């Protein structure tokens, strides 16, 4: 029994719950994966980009999955929000602030300064972080990676890994499991893989994420985009019409029937 004197009058336990050994190992694996991405950001010349990309994404994914297993599998079913208010990451602590600042800076660079991530212009070879993703991009679409491919890959990995964690957390709730599985499937298939395969089959088509309905896909009706669709025959016209139908027919019907949660 602990001899520590706690003067808090809180009914909840104010002490942060310690990580188990398995969770510490899981965090270590994830950090190693992130470290590889950081090395790539600083333009490290990896001898085998494919191998190091697999290692980076694999370690991050495996670390997240093992952490989730250790957190939920040996506990009874039910929502587990123990200690959330007292964790630095989720209670405006130093880890939360650091993470928020890093993510904000990442998005600024992603949108406005992609060359800092290694994006090259005029057909030159990529470098830095973006170059690390070139093998995967070439495998899927036959072209070098862009900053958006890097972001899409990382976002998809996050959806799949944390989706698994969410399913474990809500394994007592079939609705949440189906809902999360649906998000994971549509992100992987419709938002990530299908647009890449579409480019491989017809490189003249504008990039089109089928689930991103205007205004999320804010450029779909720009002049260059419309011309790109119309210049690619029936499939281009069909995609453009689908964009219109998704705004004025599909979205209103699904929203009326299921509310905003359908998306």
Read off the pLDDT of residues 24-33 as tens digits, 9 standing for 90 and up. Answer: 999 999 999 9
Length of the chain: 263
Which helix H or strand E contains 57, and what residues bound it? helix 49-72
Q: How confident is the model at residue 123 (pLDDT cuts 50, 70, 90)?
A: confident
What residues does each domain of the chain span?
21-75+85-176, 202-263
Question: How far, CA to CA in Å, does 18 sit from each of 15, 21, 76, 86?
Answer: 9, 9, 19, 12
Q: How confident is the model at residue 35 (pLDDT cuts 50, 70, 90)?
A: very high
SS3 145: coil
Q: How far apart are CA 198 and CA 189, in angstroms?
A: 12
Mean pLDDT within 17-29 = 87
Predicted confidence at residue 217, as pLDDT, reads: 78
Q: How far apart are CA 239 and CA 216, in angstroms?
A: 16
Q: How far apart are CA 255 and CA 68, in angstroms?
A: 33
Of 179, 131, 136, 171, the closest CA to residue 157 belongs to 136
Q: What is the 3-state secondary structure (H, E, C) of 233-260?
A: HHHHHHHHHHHHHHHHHHHHHHHHHHCH
| Whole-number percent of the chain with pLDDT over 90 | 41
Max mean pLDDT among 24-28, 69-73, 120-124, 235-239 falls in: 24-28
Mean of pLDDT over the chain: 86
Provide the angle, in degrees to the nearest 10, between the axes of the packed helices 147-169 and 49-72.
Answer: 20
CA–CA–CA angle 54, 58, 147 (5° rounding): 60
Contact 46, 137 (CB under 8 A): no
Q: How far apart are CA 99 and CA 95, in angstroms?
A: 6
Residue 1 has pLDDT above 60, yes or no: no
* 175-230 tens-digit pLDDT: 889 989 989 998 999 889 988 888 888 777 777 777 778 777 777 888 888 888 88
């Amino acid at each position: 029994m602990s001899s520590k004197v706690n003067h808090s009058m809180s009914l909840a336990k104010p002490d942060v719950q310690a990580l188990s050994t398995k969770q510490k190992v899981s965090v270590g694996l994830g950090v190693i994966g992130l470290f590889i991405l950081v090395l790539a950001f600083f333009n490290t010349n990896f001898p085998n980009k494919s191998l190091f990309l697999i290692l980076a994404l694999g370690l991050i994914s495996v670390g997240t999955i093992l952490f989730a297993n250790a957190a939920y599998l040996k506990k009874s079913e039910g929502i587990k929000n123990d200690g959330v208010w007292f964790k630095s990451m989720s209670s405006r602590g130093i880890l939360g602030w650091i993470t928020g600042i890093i993510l904000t800076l990442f998005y600024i660079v992603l949108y406005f300064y992609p060359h800092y991530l290694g994006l090259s212009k005029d057909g030159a070879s990529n470098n830095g972080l973006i170059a690390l993703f070139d093998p995967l991009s070439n495998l899927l679409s036959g072209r070098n990676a862009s900053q958006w491919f890097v972001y899409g890959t990382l976002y998809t990995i996050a959806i799949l890994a944390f989706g698994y964690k969410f399913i474990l957390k809500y394994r007592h709730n079939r609705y949440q499991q189906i809902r999360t599985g649906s998000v994971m499937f549509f992100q992987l298939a419709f938002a990530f893989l299908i647009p890449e395969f579409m480019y491989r089959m017809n490189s003249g088509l504008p990039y089109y994420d089928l689930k991103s309905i205007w205004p999320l896909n804010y450029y779909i009706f720009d002049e260059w985009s419309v011309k790109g669709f119309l210049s690619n025959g029936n499939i281009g016209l069909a995609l453009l019409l689908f964009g219109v139908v998704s705004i004025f027919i599909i979205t209103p019907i699904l929203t009326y029937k299921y509310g905003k949660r359908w998306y």
